[in-house]
Every structure is written in C-alpha cells, then in structure tokens.
Amino acid sequence: MVEVRRRVTIPAELDRLAEIRAVVRDVAHGCEAPADCIDDLVQAVDEAATNIIVHGYRGAQGTIELTAELVSDDIVFTLADTAPSYDPTTVPPPDLTVPPAQRRPGGMGVHLMRLATDSLVHRPRPGGGNILTLTRARARRFKEV
Amino acid sequence: MAMQTTIERVEAHVPITVMTLTGELDASNYLRLVDDVRPLYGAGVRHLLLDLTDLTFISSSGLVSLYSIEKVMQGQEPPDPEYGWGALHEVGRAVDDGQIQSAVQLCGVQPGVREVIERTGLDRLFRIHPDRATAVAEF
C-alpha cells in the first residue's frame, strides 16, 4: 500500500535546506519512525538536496519537488529537479589508493546518503532533470557501516 | 533552524576558548563557521573547545568545516570546500603518522551528530568529551 504523506516544491537554495529537513522530520514523525530512522532520513535528504543545489543547478535558479510516501513499511522520499543530469549513485565509494586531490568531490555526502538509506535510485526526469528516490525501512535495517 | 555561535574563555590548565554551536550545521552556514574561527587564532587562541551540546544536525559540509577549523587552528589554510573526501583522508593519514596534536576538541556531541562523525572517520581527529566540565578538566 502506498500512502502519499507530503508533496512540496521548495526553491533550490542552500538557505532552504533547514525547511527541507523540517519537512522530512515531520513526515517521519508522522510515520511513527524511530529516532535512528528519522536521523538517517534527515541526513540523506539533506545531502541529496545539497547535491542538487551545488552539483545540479550549480547556482542557477530552480526548484526541488519533494514527495514523501509510506510504502508498506518503507518511508520513501523522492526529489525531482530540472537541473542538468546529475546521478549521485554513480559516485564510486572512496578509493584510498587514489591520491586525495584526484578523488571526486562531493563523494562524502553520497557516502552518508548510502549509509543512511536502504536504496538510492536515480532516473532521468521526462522532459529534463533528475528524479532521485531514497528509501529507508522504518524498522532497523541490516546495512551497517 | 539557523546556527548560532557563542564564545567564552575558560581558565584551566591552559587558557581554553569555548565555542558553543547551537542549531544545525549544513551547507548554508559551514563556511561562516570557519570564518568565525580565523580571528580567534589570529588573536592568539591555541586551545579551542567546540561545545556541540545544542548542535542538532551536521551534514557532510559541516564535517568539512570541523576539519577546516582544525587546519586553521594549526596555523594552516583550510582545504578547498570541494575537497571533501580528500580532506578527511588527509586527516586519517596525519593521525596515523602522529602529525596531528589536535588543537580542537569536542564535547557534548549528541548521538545523531556523533554517528555522522564516526561514519566518516572524523572521530579519529578530535578528542571527544562527554561534557564541557570533563573537557575543561582534561584539556
């Protein structure tokens, strides 16, 4: 069963990140998620939104459409934008054999997104843009650092 | 929620400057935090305690600012904010090589923030105390 819990459109600006986190917290509380799940979702969505603003829009004006759903026992957040294609799921895990200066920037946020979610899926948005879906089970998941 | 900082001086075994962070540290304010620390180092501060009791959120950008603060307090230039992982792995090597005697310590780190710090290995750089009184006594 899919229940849409929230759908908001927020300007893609760093000063609006707190508002995005507040929406995530509110939705997660409403889904009766435990504290660790709420923290993970807030972290993951914040990092995803930051990536969209910094690496997607790159300072250009735009919006982030944030949708929250409860799918069975999973909380699912979807972030849709109209920025040039940017797929954070292709950022490889950190390779310690590569000199630091040659590592891809922004990977730390993606690392945190991966640890905080059970799945992270990117797909192109029809007509242009990106759709990123983050899923986190309400119950304790098995994935660990 | 925006983030606020307050500064206090504490005389202990060494003069300690305590910076209290209240709110959320994210990509919108992490550079400002580094800018707040620069004049402290310039004024002669060499022992900095970051009290994170009221810090409720930290993003990867915030982690970069913590590392940058350490660099500033070592009298060095902070890394490019885009350096990301490079900065944290540089930390790991420096700690392993015994190069860093951290001038910055943390206290009152809340569980959610601590988890993020540990997930990225930044806990290797900072001595983390349970509360301010313990930190001041052991600085």
pLDDT, tens digit, 9 for 90 and up, residues B37-58 = 999 999 999 999 999 999 999 9
Instruction: Tell whether A142 is covered by a domain.
Output: no
Residues of A with Cβ-Cβ distance to B83 under 8 angstroms = 100-101, 105
pLDDT-wise least confident of B6-15, B77-86, B93-102, B114-123 = B93-102
Beta carbons of A105 and B84 less than 8 Å apart = yes
Instruction: Tell whether A145 is covered by a domain.
Output: no
Domain holding A84, by residue range, is: 2-95+103-137
Of A11, A27, A55, A99, which is closest to residue B60 (Cα–Cα)? A55
Question: In whole angstroms, how far apart are CA A59 and each of A34, B30, B93?
Answer: 35, 17, 34
pLDDT, tens digit, 9 for 90 and up, residues B11-30 = 998 999 999 999 999 999 99
Q: How many domains does chain A have?
A: 1
Beta carbons of A46 and B26 less than 8 Å apart = yes
Instruction: Tell whether A144 is covered by a domain.
Output: no
Beta carbons of B83 and A46 less than 8 Å apart = no
Structure tokens at B93: 């090597």
A63-71/A74-81 β-pairing: antiparallel
- What ipTM, to 2 d.p.? 0.88
User: Mean pLDDT across the stretch B66-91?
Assistant: 74
Residues of A with Cβ-Cβ distance to B24 under 8 angstroms = 18, 21
Beta carbons of B119 and A145 less than 8 Å apart = yes
What CATH number is given to the structural domain containing B12?
A: 3.30.750.24
Question: In whole angstroms, how far apart are CA B70 and each of A61, B66, B101?
Answer: 34, 6, 10
pLDDT, tens digit, 9 for 90 and up, residues B56-68 = 999 999 998 998 8
Residues of B with Cβ-Cβ distance to A53 under 8 angstroms = 27
CA separation for the pair A66, A56 (Å, rounded): 15
What pLDDT score does B33 carry?
Answer: 94
Q: Shortest Cα distance from A73 to chain B (angstroms)?
A: 22
CA separation for the pair B125, B127 (Å, rounded): 7
What pLDDT score does B88 carry?
Answer: 59
**A111–B contact, CB cutoff 8 A:** yes
Task: State the Cα angle at A70 between A66 and A74, rounded to 5°.
Answer: 105
Structure tokens at B10: 């504490």
What is the greatest pairwise CA distance in chain A?
Answer: 47
CA separation for the pair A79, B98 (Å, rounded): 43
What pLDDT score does A25 carry?
Answer: 97
What CATH number is given to the structural domain containing A23?
A: 3.30.565.10
Give the global pTM: 0.89
Q: Name the residue in chain B with its Cα closest to that of A102.
A: B86
| Phi, then psi, of A13 in degrees rounded to 5 | -135, 140
pLDDT above 90: residue B111: yes
Amino acid at A41: L
Q: How many domains does chain B have?
A: 1
Q: What is the pLDDT along chain A (145 residues), one digit of tens a residue?
A: 778 889 999 999 999 999 999 999 999 999 999 999 999 999 999 999 999 999 899 989 999 999 999 999 999 999 999 999 989 888 776 554 554 444 444 578 898 999 999 999 999 999 999 999 999 999 865 555 4
**A98–B contact, CB cutoff 8 A:** no
Of A102, A50, A44, which is closest to residue A77 (Cα–Cα)? A44
Beta carbons of B59 and A109 less than 8 Å apart = yes
Domain holding B23, by residue range, is: 4-138
CB burial class (10 A; 0-12, 13-18, 19+) of residue A36? Answer: middle
Q: Which helix (H) or strand (E) holds B135?
A: helix B132-138
Residues of B with Cβ-Cβ distance to A21 under 8 angstroms = 24, 26, 57
CA separation for the pair A80, A130 (Å, rounded): 6
What pLDDT score does A91 carry?
Answer: 79
Beta carbons of A100 and B89 less than 8 Å apart = yes
